[in-house]
């Protein structure tokens, strides 16, 4: 079974990204053939600073490799290193009805918010379909907000197969929580747009200040807190500490006698320790950019070996070559 995951090079990653998408994707390396790509073509629909794109792409590679993506067990590459993806995008696009793209929720959201969408935003589902279909992908883990695009990918594959014969593998979705279980520092879902994130990699002093700045209620340390399970720090501890440790802090909070300041100090220490090995690994990788580049290029070679064969099938089926 082949699983494919697209990585958006959108800047600093936070623990909502990690627990919602990164960790499940990395754990999948133990359960089948995994393909991971950094979607730098997709970033061009909204980011127009080339230096920022290069920086974000490099950071995405560092972050994922540091957090456990293993290029010996998976295929890892930059989207733009595979020219076949743009050709398959065109081939698929000739079969996609305009109405299907106009019904895309992301496209409609842009219109509703007064954003003038470019062709890339309008055609985003076609490029996403090419990303998936080019590698004979069986399963695609997606968040609920991307489910429609995966359904559109399936529609495009089926439509192509109906028009030209059985050629493309029709993938299945695996819906993931996408950070739904990770509260932000203000209690809402952790999101960069809310400014309530806790970064995976960042300055220790600044991150400690953010954790210690979590707003709690006015109850004194001595007062019992029967609703301890709703406490933001407790919810985060469940992710970052062992179940026994998280339960102990929750019980102490519930019984009374534990101050919020001590709770937040404990939260920071568990958070900082949780990603300690990843921080060391990231620093080592950042000091050796040639190695990271070689990982991406070798991954592109492996990915392209598959992509070229799938595109050849599609070209032959569509009458573009004998």
Cα–Cα distance between 318 and 312 in angstroms, integer? 10
Average pLDDT over residues 243-263: 95
CA angle 260, 266, 269 (to 5 degrees): 145
Convert the pLDDT of each residue in 187-233 to its tens digit: 898 988 789 999 999 999 999 999 999 999 999 999 999 999 999 99
**Catalytic-residue membership of 312:** no
Q: For residue 148, name the pLDDT band (cuts at 50, 70, 90).
A: confident
Other Cβ atoms within 10 Å of 129 Cβ, number = 26
Q: For residue 111, name the pLDDT band (cuts at 50, 70, 90).
A: confident
DSSP 8-state assignment for residue 250: H
Look up residue 215 and give its two tokens: 């707003």
pLDDT at residue 166 tops 80 = yes
Q: Which of 189, 205, 264, 312 is catalytic?
A: 189
Average pLDDT over residues 119-127: 93
Give pLDDT, residue 177.
54
User: Please, what is the angle between helix 289-317 and helix 84-93, to 10°?
Assistant: 40
The length of the chain, given as a count of residues? 322
Q: Please give the backbone phi and psi of residue 174, each rounded to the nearest 5 degrees, phi first.
A: -125, 105
Give the residue with greater pLDDT, 11 vs 112: 112
pLDDT at residue 138 tops 50 = yes
- Please name each of the domains of the chain with its CATH number: 2-182+289-317 (3.40.50.620), 202-274 (1.10.240.10)
Cα–Cα distance between 27 and 33 in angstroms, integer? 12
**Catalytic-residue membership of 110:** yes
Query: What's the chain's average pLDDT?
Result: 93
Q: For residue 179, name the pLDDT band (cuts at 50, 70, 90).
A: very low
Average pLDDT over residues 124-137: 97
Cα–Cα distance between 173 and 115 in angstroms, integer? 29
Residue 267 CA: distances (Å) to CA of 171, 194, 234, 310:
40, 21, 8, 48
Q: Which of 192, 225, 230, 264 is catalytic?
A: 192
Convert the pLDDT of each residue in 46-92 to its tens digit: 899 999 999 999 999 999 999 999 999 999 999 999 999 999 999 99
Q: Which of 108, 110, 147, 264 is catalytic?
A: 110
**Catalytic-residue membership of 189:** yes
pLDDT at residue 178 tops 50 = no
Give pLDDT, residue 181.
66
């Amino acid at each position: 079974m082949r699983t494919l995951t697209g990585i958006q090079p959108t800047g600093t990653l936070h623990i909502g990204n990690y627990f919602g998408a990164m960790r499940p994707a990395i754990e999948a390396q133990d359960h089948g053939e995994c393909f991971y790509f950094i979607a730098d073509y997709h970033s061009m629909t909204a980011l127009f600073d080339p230096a920022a794109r290069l920086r974000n792409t490099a950071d995405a590679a560092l972050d994922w490799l540091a957090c456990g993506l293993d290029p010996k067990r998976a295929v890892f590459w930059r989207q733009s290193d595979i020219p076949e993806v743009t050709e398959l995008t065109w081939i698929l696009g000739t079969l996609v009805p305009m109405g299907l793209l106009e019904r895309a929720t992301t496209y409609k959201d842009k219109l509703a918010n007064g954003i003038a969408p470019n062709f890339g935003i309008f055609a985003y589902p076609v490029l996403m379909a090419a990303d998936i279909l080019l590698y004979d992908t069986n399963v695609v883990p997606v968040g609920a907000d991307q489910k429609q695009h995966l359904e559109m990918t399936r529609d495009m594959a089926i439509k192509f197969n109906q028009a030209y014969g059985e050629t493309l593998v029709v993938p299945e979705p695996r819906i993931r929580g996408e950070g739904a279980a990770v509260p932000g520092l203000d209690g809402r879902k952790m999101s960069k747009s809310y400014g309530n994130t806790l970064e995976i990699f960042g300055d220790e002093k600044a991150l400690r200040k953010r954790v210690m700045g979590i707003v709690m209620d006015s109850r004194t340390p001595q007062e019992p807190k029967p609703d301890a399970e709703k406490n933001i720090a407790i919810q985060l501890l469940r992710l970052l500490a062992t179940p026994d440790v998280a339960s102990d802090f929750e019980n102490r909070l519930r019984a009374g006698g534990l101050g919020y300041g001590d709770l937040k100090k404990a939260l920071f220490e568990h958070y900082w320790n949780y990603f300690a090995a990843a921080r060391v690994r990231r620093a080592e990788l950042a000091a050796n950019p040639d190695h990271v580049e070689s990982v991406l290029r070798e991954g592109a070679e492996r990915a392209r070996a598959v992509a070229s064969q799938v595109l050849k099938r599609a070209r032959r089926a569509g009458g573009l070559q004998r």
